[in-house]
């Protein structure tokens, strides 16, 4: 069963069961040896350096932000 099929089946479940799946999935991910946020950042570093779509809004990072009221 592929990702799309799994997600389709999850959508059919009641809300509380979907939350349980999310929680248990996060536990599995956190327990996976050798995986951490730091490793994920290292893995994505080259993608951010070469894929301009991921950094398209970086040019406005220094602009002041004004909340619309």
User: How does pLDDT run across 24-60, given as a tens digit for each residue?
Assistant: 998 888 887 777 778 888 888 888 888 888 777 777 7
**For residues 10 and 18, is the Cβ–Cβ distance under 8 A?**
yes
Count CA within 13 A, CB hemisphere, residue 60. Answer: 4
What are the domain boundaries of the chain? 3-59
CA distance 31 to 22: 14
Alpha carbons 18 and 24: distance in angstroms, whole number? 10
Q: Is 60 left (phi over 0), alpha (psi -120 to 50) or beta?
A: alpha
User: What pLDDT is recorded for position 13?
Assistant: 96
Residue 16: predicted pLDDT: 96
pLDDT band at 14 (very low <50, low <70, confident <90, very high): very high
CA distance 57 to 59: 5
pTM, full prediction:
0.47
pLDDT of residue 19: 96
């Amino acid at each position: 069963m592929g990702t799309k099929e799994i997600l389709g089946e999850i959508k059919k479940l009641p809300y509380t069961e979907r939350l349980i799946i999310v929680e248990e999935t996060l536990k599995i991910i956190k327990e996976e040896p050798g995986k951490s946020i730091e490793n994920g950042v290292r893995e994505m570093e080259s993608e951010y350096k070469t894929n301009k779509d991921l950094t398209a809004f970086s040019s406005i990072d220094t602009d002041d932000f004004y909340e619309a009221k």
